[in-house]
Amino acid sequence: LGQHGDGSLPESASGYQADFNDVARGPDDLAAILYTSGTTGRSKGAMLSHENLASNAHVLVEYWRFTSDDVLIHALPIFHTHGLFVATNVILMAGASMLFEAKFDPARIIALLPRATALMGVPTFYVRLLQQEGLDAQAAKNIRLFISGSAPLLAETHAAWRERTGHAILERYGMTETNMNTSNPYDGERRAGTVGFPLPGVSLRIADPDGSGSLAQGKVGIIEVKGPNVFAGYWRMPEKTTAEFRPDGFFITGDLGLIDRDGYVHIVGRGKDLIISGGYNIYPKEIEGEIDALAGVSESAVIGVAHPDFGEGVTAVVVRKPGSAIGAADVLDAIAGRLARYKHPKQVIFVDELPRNTMGKVQKNVLRETYKDLYAAVRAG
């Protein structure tokens, strides 16, 4: 379906009647299958039921106080949970309106602010909007809520936003498999660097990675969640589904976190080898597989390095085969037609060998430390 109502969908639909009979659906019926990538590089279809979607939208409408008076600026892609369900279902369920943008254009968002009451975005939105001269309290005077999610919002972005607009961005945490799990409060302190409290109906615990149960308050462990928001399993992957749930029904998110003394959830890292760039999830394995397959390459490790615009920048560390003269441009050219653009490394670095631990495993933490300032000079935007 094209932007102007063109495309193969309206062509196919033209042969059908406009009227049809509704089919009754129950809460456990499948509503959507959303594909999400995995640590092995193979994508999995997350099966979401009507209850998963409806319960979460209902909770968010109440928690974030959406009403039919609201107007949301929607500039997110609609092929992910954030733009597809969080933004759209909340607006539909509240009977509110949206300004539906084909893409994120910071100057255009500033121009739309006076007509809107809310904005939902990934941290890169807020970083780029802060570079716009027109962003100030006057421009944002009709907005009641700025929401951020999909990737960590830096405390400095939160502070800079507050300074410029007078608004505390509300950060929340979710996943394709679970919809939204936690949110900072509507009233009360929106604590920078945290994702707030478990939403009503969601049980969240910090568990020992070995599955031996909940950890004491303040300890870092794997975030596990349970509730009507949590998906029904991966499409045609029963073993994968079983492996990601505990016997008592909690879903293992793979995110590392802690709960502070006041009950706020902090995400402190990831137990899974995942890079989040501009809100898009990228599994290194898929990129390493493409690079390792090149004739002049012995092996590679793909890591996320702090990036001022995208949060994390995809970075490839590559070991050449003896005698090979393969360069960064060769690597990038070779993967160009094979991987989506946002997965392409922003830099390719060549080394003689990769750091390994005594078990022979590549130490990505050492690489991340070595290259932590790689993008420090890159200006955001």
What token pair was written down for 159? 């502070």
Applying CB under 6 A, which part among 174-182, 208-216, 329-337, 368-376 lies near ligand MCA?
174-182
Cβ at position 314, least distance to ligand MCA in Å? 7
82 vs 72: CA distance, rounded Å:
13
Amino acid at 288: E
Quick one: how far is CA 162 from the chain centroid? 23
Answer whether 112's CB lies under 8 Å from 125's CB.
no
Torsion on CA atoms 265, 266, 272, 273, rounded to nearest 10: 160
DSSP 212: S
Q: Which is nearer to ligand MCA, 86 or 318 (CB)?
A: 86
Name the packing angle between helices 328-336 and 284-292 (round to 10°): 110
Cβ at position 71, least distance to ligand MCA in Å? 20
Look at residue 278 and give the partner it binds from ligand AMP, ligand MCA, none, a contact being a CB closer than 5 to 8 Å depending on partner kind: ligand MCA
Residues lying near ligand AMP in the complex (CB under 6 A): 36, 81, 149-152, 171, 173-176, 195, 253, 255, 267, 270, 276, 281
Cβ at position 340, least distance to ligand MCA in Å? 8
Site string for ligand MCA, 53-92 (x = CB under 6 A): -----------------------xx--xxxx---------
Answer whether 163's CB lies under 8 Å from 144's CB.
no
Q: Residue from 209, 336, 342, 356 that binds ligand MCA (CB under 6 A)?
A: 342
Cβ at position 24, least distance to ligand AMP in Å? 30
DSSP string, 76-131: S-TTSHIIIIIIHHHHHHHT-EEEE-SS--HHHHHHHGGG-SEEEE-HHHHHHHTT
Q: Which is nearer to ligand AMP, 74 or 82 (CB)?
A: 82
**Does residue 47 interact with ligand MCA by CB under 6 A?**
no
Answer whether 152's CB lies under 8 Å from 126's CB.
no
Q: Which is nearer to ligand AMP, 75 or 348 (CB)?
A: 75
Q: Which residues bind ligand MCA (CB under 6 A)?
A: 76-77, 80-83, 104, 122, 124, 149-150, 174-176, 277-280, 310, 341-342
